[in-house]
Amino acid sequence: MRINDVSETVEREDQAGEPETFDAFNFRRALGAFPTGVTIVTTRDEAGAPVGMTANSFSSVSLDPPLILWSIMRSALSFETFMRASTFAVNILGEGQQDISNRFARPGGDKFASVKFENGLGGAPLFPGCAAQFECQMHNQFDGGDHVILVGEVKTFRHWDRSSMVFTGGRYRALSPDEKPQSFIEDWPISFF
Ligand SMILES: Cc1cc2nc3c(=O)[nH]c(=O)nc-3n(C[C@H](O)[C@H](O)[C@H](O)COP(=O)(O)O)c2cc1C
């Protein structure tokens, strides 16, 4: 029986399945059904060394004031550095930037060796080839269980006309070049990004 004729039709059987067992594997797999972009968030530590990590928890928050957020795992080696940082930059990766994404998804080490970057606000590294970049002042930090949610106020941003990298189901994906938008963003309420 059809229960939804607004967008795609959905079989009732799909909606009424048994709830999944609450283990880390199942939970992560279900969360992976929500496609995201991929970012590298960067800052400088107290000695001035560049620090960065791959993160897909980025989200837009507010237009006025301009706020964004991402969440950092408490066990990350760079956790204390980001908690103390007064500025950070979010590099939204462009299609094909898997190598740098993987490089910054490994704990510690010299992630910046032979990587080209420029210095943004507070010296936070900005990489070439991105789809967008946001330079932020730390605005607030909230408990998020085994993560902390970091909210940044965007002081400067840049955007290029190139496809973003997509992450879903634990894999990097590319948007198909002939993908057509379903509706024009101009028709939508301003609260949608
Ligand atoms: C696609 C992708 C997205 C990720 N998103 C996050 C995230 O949002 N927050 C986080 O804390 N770690 C995230 N990670 C894991 C970190 O990149 C990884 O733990 C990294 O080693 C942290 O660096 P550090 O230990 O040197 O601080 C992600 C990894 C990948 C591959």
How far does residue 39's CA lie from ligand 1's centre (Å)? 10
Distance, CA of 136 to CA of 86 (rounded, Å): 9
Distance, CA of 93 to CA of 140 (rounded, Å): 24
Residue pair 19/26 in contact by the 8 Å Cβ criterion: no
Whether residue 106 is predicted with pLDDT greater than 70 in this model: the reply is yes
Name the CATH superfamily housing domain 42-167: Electron Transport, Fmn-binding Protein; Chain A (2.30.110.10)
Query: Which atom from ligand 1 is nearest to the alpha carbon of 70?
Result: 8
Domain residue ranges in the chain: 42-167
How far does residue 178's CA lie from ligand 1's centre (Å)? 31
Q: What would the pLDDT profile of 110-159 be if each residue is shown by its tens digit?
A: 999 999 999 999 999 999 999 999 999 999 999 999 999 999 999 999 99
By most ligand atoms within 8 Å of CB, the mutation choice from 54, 78, 141, 172 for ligand 1 is: 54
Between residues 175 and 14, which one has the greater pLDDT?
175
Q: What would the pLDDT profile of 63-93 be if each residue is shown by its tens digit?
A: 999 999 999 999 999 999 999 999 999 999 9
Q: Report the share of the chain in percent with pLDDT over 90.
A: 76
